[in-house]
């Protein structure tokens, strides 16, 4: 029992090396991955990386979400890769499909339009469902109601450094709401009317705008000159900065709370998830920048992270050495190599340091 001799000289263990899946990490937290069956290989690669760099010492569970049932192969292989418990959840159709109040003709037209304008992923209906789901429904899934914290993982990503601590514990003890690694500019033609919708929301619900918000991070113009004036109603324009939401460590209670849900419902009713191609990244970020205390948003500067096409690694040589960072993506083919993003013109990180982080640089 246990080891089995194959016809070759290879020996395989037919059981997971993680026979005891008892959680060791102290937090009420889970990994969560929305993923398609066809992405099994990329899911396993992401899991391998995160398990080896972090989770094998903590054994937090994994929750997999899908709009169609997971295959047996998917379940088997990801469970063997996981160190903790695994859960496979089918998303209820009303949480995934286009809402009924969306006008189908207008939607079809917007798809044609987006194809003409070469909007990134503009042709894809399922991508719009995905962004809509990630914006307003992931945190409502029944399995996630059991948890306070989530760590969003996508297929085909890589974590470049050892964590060496439990990021969930950091979030809790430092009283954080949301953690990110990469901050970047959004493609403007995906969100033509998002900002005016957000402004209408702030007008309707001024009491929901947090007094210590980070609107200065996402608006440029007058506010740059006079950033001591608290911005509640802004006449300035969205500068397209947002946290890249394919990596998130967050407080589910923030998303489940009244403020965020009023915000999401308001955006949803405006129709831009389907008449335009609003992404969940700017939607999450703007929500946090408006509704949360900016001191509760944490930049994980010591977690190297790669999601095609960008790579971000700690800037400190000492941190990189101590955390065994490998600051290039796993692909040996030059193509998969991520472009370092933090010094890139598309990055918004320096703007976060300047306006967002609540730290003062004088």
Catalytic residues: 248
In angstroms, give the least distance from the CB of 74 to ligand GDP. Answer: 11
Please list every residue from 237 through 256 that binds ligand GDP, using CB under 6 A.
246
- Which one of 31-39, 159-167, 172-180, 203-211 is the stretch in contact with ligand GDP (CB under 6 A)? 31-39
Alpha helix segments (H runs only) across 117-256: 125-136, 167-173, 194-204, 215-218, 222-225, 252-256
Q: Which is nearer to Mn ion, 78 or 219 (CB)?
A: 78
**Three-state DSSP class for residue 88:** strand
Phi, psi of 204 (to 5 degrees): -75, -35
Radius of gyration in angstroms for the set of CA atoms belonging to the chain, rounded to a whole number? 21
Where in 264-361 does DSSP place strands (E)?
297-299, 305-307, 310-312, 339-340
Cis peptide before 309 (omega within 30 of 0): yes
The only residue of 31, 35, 114, 291 in contact with ligand GDP, by rule CB under 6 A: 35
Q: According to the binding rule CB under 6 A, does residue 66 interact with ligand GDP?
A: yes
Query: Are the beta carbons of 356 and 180 closer than 8 angstroms?
Result: no
89 makes contact with ligand GDP (CB under 6 A): no
CB of 151 to ligand GDP, least distance (A): 13
Instruction: Please state, in angstroms and rounded to a whole number, the distance separating the CA atoms of residues 79 and 86.
Output: 6
216 makes contact with ligand GDP (CB under 6 A): no
102 is written with which tokens?
């969306």
Which pair of structure tokens corresponds to residue 240?
A: 């397209």
A 10 A CB-CB count for 97 gives 14
Q: Which is nearer to ligand GDP, 157 or 291 (CB)?
A: 157
Closest to ligand GDP by CB, 33 vs 292, is 33
Residues that bind Mn ion (CB under 5 A): 154, 246
Minimum CB–partner distance for residue 93 and ligand GDP (Å): 13
**Could you tell me the smallest distance in angstroms from the CB atom of residue 264 to ligand GDP?**
18
Told to check if 34 binds ligand GDP by CB under 6 A, we report yes
Minimum CB distance to Mn ion, residue 236 (Å):
30
Q: Please enumerate in sequence order all residues whose Cβ is within 8 A of that of 345, keeping only pairs 6 or more positions apart, or say none.
A: none
Minimum CB distance to ligand GDP smaller for 39 or for 166:
39
Which positions touch ligand GDP (CB under 6 A)?
34-36, 39, 66-67, 126, 130, 154-155, 246
């Amino acid at each position: 029992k246990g080891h089995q001799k194959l016809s070759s000289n290879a020996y395989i263990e037919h059981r997971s090396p993680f026979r005891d899946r008892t959680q060791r990490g102290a937090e009420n937290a889970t990994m969560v991955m929305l993923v398609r069956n066809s992405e099994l290989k990329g899911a396993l690669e992401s899991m391998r990386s995160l398990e080896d760099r972090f989770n094998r010492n903590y054994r937090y569970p994994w929750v997999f979400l899908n709009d169609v049932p997971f295959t047996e192969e998917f379940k088997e292989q990801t469970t063997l890769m996981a160190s903790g418990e695994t859960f496979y959840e089918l998303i209820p159709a009303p949480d995934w499909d286009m809402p009924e109040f969306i006008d189908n003709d207008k939607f079809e037209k917007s798809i044609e339009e987006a194809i003409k304008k070469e909007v990134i992923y503009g042709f894809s209906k399922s991508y719009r469902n995905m962004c809509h789901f990630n914006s307003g429904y992931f945190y409502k899934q029944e399995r996630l109601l059991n948890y306070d914290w989530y760590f969003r993982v996508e297929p085909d990503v890589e974590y470049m450094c050892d964590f060496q601590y439990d990021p969930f514990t950091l979030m809790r003890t430092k009283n954080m709401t949301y953690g990110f690694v990469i901050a970047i500019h959004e493609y403007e033609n995906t969100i033509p009317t998002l900002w005016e919708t957000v402004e209408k929301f702030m007008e309707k619900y001024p009491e929901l705008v947090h007094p210590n918000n980070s609107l200065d991070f996402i608006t440029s113009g007058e506010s740059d000159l006079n950033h001591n004036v608290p911005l509640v109603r802004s006449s300035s324009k969205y500068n397209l900065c947002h946290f890249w939401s394919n990596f998130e460590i967050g407080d589910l209670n923030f998303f489940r709370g009244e403020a965020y849900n009023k915000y999401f419902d308001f955006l949803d009713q405006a129709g831009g998830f389907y008449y335009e191609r609003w992404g969940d990244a700017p939607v999450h970020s703007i929500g946090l920048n408006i509704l949360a205390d900016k001191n509760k948003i944490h930049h994980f500067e010591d977690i190297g992270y790669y999601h095609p096409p960008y790579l971000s690694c700690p800037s400190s040589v000492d941190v990189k050495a101590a955390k065994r960072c490998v600051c290039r993506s796993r692909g040996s083919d030059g193509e998969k190599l991520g472009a370092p993003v933090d010094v890139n013109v598309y990055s918004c990180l320096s703007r976060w340091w300047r306006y967002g982080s609540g730290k003062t640089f004088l």
